Amino acid sequence: MATILITGASDGLGRALAEDLAADGKHTLLLHGRDQGRLSEVAAATGAGTNRADLSSLAEVRRLAAGIAAAHDRLDVLVNNAGVGFHATGTSRLTSSDGHELRLAVNYLAPVLLTRELLPLLRRARPSRVVNVASVGQQPIDFDDPQLTRAYTEVAAYCRSKLALISHGLDLAEELSGSGVTVNSLHPASYMPTAMSRASGMDVVGSLEQGVVATRRLVDAPELAGVTGRYYDGEKEARAAAEAYDPDYRKRLAALTDSLL
């Protein structure tokens, strides 16, 4: 029986994935969310354990990881799904409690830190998997203005955070090569009918079912055992933006990440 942690599981893709996995009756599901009420609803429907935390706070991320480590001796799959979306015309720059641009904090720094903190559990469960829910919307970070203090838009902040997550995933996959812990990223589907997509004002393109199938494949498909350091667009392997494969970009991103964490 695999132990699987899904962040952002109180709504949207995270909730649908949890319900899909729960239907098997084969897994120990650990669900994270920020809204305890909605999280409890999903837990009641799936029989999963709940872990409330605000991922805009690095202290809360560490608390979440510590609580999971105290209660469980292994973790087979970590699905970094939680995120902050965007309004297509949004220009209001918000910061986290740590002073970081909000989307950078939640969509990038939080999953990076959570993964680091849970690596001992993932190593103990190997073969194990880290699945990063990213996006086809990708932009490189401007290292002269990593917190996007100039010409701010929510779309740009979102796309920068998602490319950073993919880039870091490639680095981590290389670091963990041969360890039994795999790291892969994906764009699950475009503009699924979720609250995040509705907030963007974009028309629905993909279905929630498509997103679940694509994400679930990275969670437990036998044919992906041992496969690591890949980016998928739906169920198909794809190429992320060029910067994700640029050693200099990844080196500078790693240095920035360490300084912010």
Instruction: Read off the CATH number of the domain in which 74 is found.
Output: 3.40.50.720
Mean pLDDT of all residues belonging to the chain: 95
Report residue 199's pLDDT band, with 50, 70 and 90 as the boundaries. Answer: low
Domain total of the chain: 1
Q: Residues 33, 39: contact at Cβ < 8 Å?
A: yes
The whole-number pLDDT of residue 195 equals: 67
What's the rounded mean pLDDT across residues 168-173? 98
Cα 208 to Cα 142: distance, rounded to the nearest angstrom: 33
The whole-number pLDDT of residue 198 equals: 66
Q: Specify the pTM.
A: 0.96
Structure-token pair, residue 234: 């739906």
C-alpha to C-alpha distances, 251 to 97, 143, 170, nearest whole angstrom: 26, 11, 12
pLDDT at 200 over 70: no
Type of residue at 50: T
What's the rounded mean pLDDT across residues 155-184? 98
Q: Residues 187, 233: contact at Cβ < 8 Å?
A: yes
Report residue 141's pLDDT band, with 50, 70 and 90 as the boundaries. Answer: very high
Per-residue pLDDT tens for 7-23?
999 999 999 999 999 99
Q: Which domain holds residue 130?
A: 2-260
**Strand locations in 111-228, DSSP E?**
128-133, 181-187
The whole-number pLDDT of residue 1 equals: 87
pLDDT at 194 over 80: no
Type of residue at 78: L
Largest CA distance in the chain: 49
pLDDT at 179 over 80: yes
pLDDT at 202 over 60: no
Type of residue at 23: A
What's the rounded mean pLDDT across residues 127-135? 98
pLDDT at 60 over 70: yes
Q: Residues 234, 188: contact at Cβ < 8 Å?
A: yes
Cα 5 to Cα 79: distance, rounded to the nearest angstrom: 6
* Weakest mean pLDDT among 27-31, 200-204, 215-219: 200-204
Burial 50-65 (b: 16+ CB within 10 A, else e): bbbbebbbbebbebbb
What share of the chain in percent tops pLDDT 70?
A: 95
Per-residue pLDDT tens for 67-119?
999 999 999 999 999 999 989 889 999 999 999 999 999 999 999 999 999 99
Cα 47 to Cα 244: distance, rounded to the nearest angstrom: 38
| Residues acting as catalytic residues | 158
Report residue 203's pLDDT band, with 50, 70 and 90 as the boundaries. Answer: low
Per-residue pLDDT tens for 204-230?
567 899 999 999 999 999 999 999 999
Q: State which H helix or E strand residue 42 sits in.
A: helix 36-46
What's the rounded mean pLDDT across residues 249-256? 98
